[in-house]
Amino acid sequence: NAGVTQTPKFRVLKTGQSMTLLCAQDMNHEYMYWYRQDPGMGLRLIHYSVGEGTTAKGEVPDGYNVSRLKKQNFLLGLESAAPSQTSVYFCASGSGFSGANVLTFGAGSRLTVL
Amino acid sequence: DAKTTQPPSMDCAEGRAANLPCNHSTISGNEYVYWYRQIHSQGPQYIIHGLKNNETNEMASLIITEDRKSSTLILPHATLRDTAVYYCIVRVVDSWGKFQFGAGTQVVVTP
């Protein structure tokens, strides 16, 4: 049982390049989230999904797009990378038991934009 | 979701209990208190949650005041591996959608 897997773990891009981060979960969770974390800062929500085929904007959605075509996968795309998008990206998926919101996080993807 | 207030940092001696406070004075009756932690460079990890009763699991204990306006996360015997940022979050029961983290408390456990 792998939990939440993020690929790639590390990536270096040049300004203007595009890329996609993949988040895969094998826990049959409905809810999935993408966060970014800059050095010394807290987590900021980029986009999230409350089910297959649905996505919604978080706090800092500009410059990113997402898709949730399959329940187990949540993709985060950068169409034209900028140095300001240098960050560590975390994906999470959520399940509820007894009405509680419990998130399981991936190990993170470290992106550097030159 | 109700706003939470946590001290920005605190130190704890190894082997001693770490008591992490969280203020949530505007909490509603249908909101849970959650605690997560983030060890350096790793993804956050769920610790515990509670509604109004005190809760305990293998990681920690959660004490919620009777008026529910504040809570304390207790790490009974802190180890160096407990050095992390601890987040206190309040959320409506069985609600999803935006799930936002605040600044948390940086806990440093010293030998």
Averaged confidence pLDDT in chain A: 92
Minimal C-alpha gap between A51 and chain B (Å): 10
Token pair in block for residue A29? 């969770």
Of residues B59 and A2, the one with the higher pLDDT is B59
The pLDDT value given to residue A97: 63
Contact (CB, 8 A) for A83 and A113: yes
How far from chain centre, in Å, is Cα B5? 11
Task: Using a CB–CB cutoff of 8 Å, tell me whether B93 touches chain A.
Answer: yes
Q: Which band of pLDDT confidence, cut at 50, 70 and 90, is reported for residue B30?
A: confident
Token pair in block for residue B67? 């008026």
Whether residue A49 is predicted with pLDDT greater than 90 in this model: the reply is yes
Sign, Cα dihedral of A22, A86, B80, B8: negative
Q: Which band of pLDDT confidence, cut at 50, 70 and 90, is reported for residue B103?
A: confident
Q: Which band of pLDDT confidence, cut at 50, 70 and 90, is reported for residue A111?
A: very high
- Residue B106 CA to residue B83 CA, distance in Å, equals 8
Whether residue A1 is predicted with pLDDT greater than 90 in this model: the reply is no
**What's B43's DSSP letter?**
P
* Nearest residue on chain A to B32, alpha-carbon basis: A100
Q: Where do we find the tokens 């990681």? A: B59
Tell me the per-residue pLDDT of B63-82, one tens digit each, with 9 for 90 and over: 999 999 999 999 999 999 99
Whether residue A98 is predicted with pLDDT greater than 70 in this model: the reply is no
Average pLDDT of the segment spanning B37-43: 92
How far from chain centre, in Å, is Cα B80? 18
The pLDDT value given to residue A2: 73
Contact (CB, 8 A) for B17 and B107: no
Percent helix, strand and coil across chain B, each to the nearest 5: 5, 50, 50
Which residue in B85, B93, B99 is closest to A33 by CB distance? Answer: B99
Average pLDDT of the segment spanning A18-45: 93
Minimal C-alpha gap between B70 and chain A (Å): 19
Whether residue A54 is predicted with pLDDT greater than 80 in this model: the reply is yes
Name the residue type at position A44. Answer: R
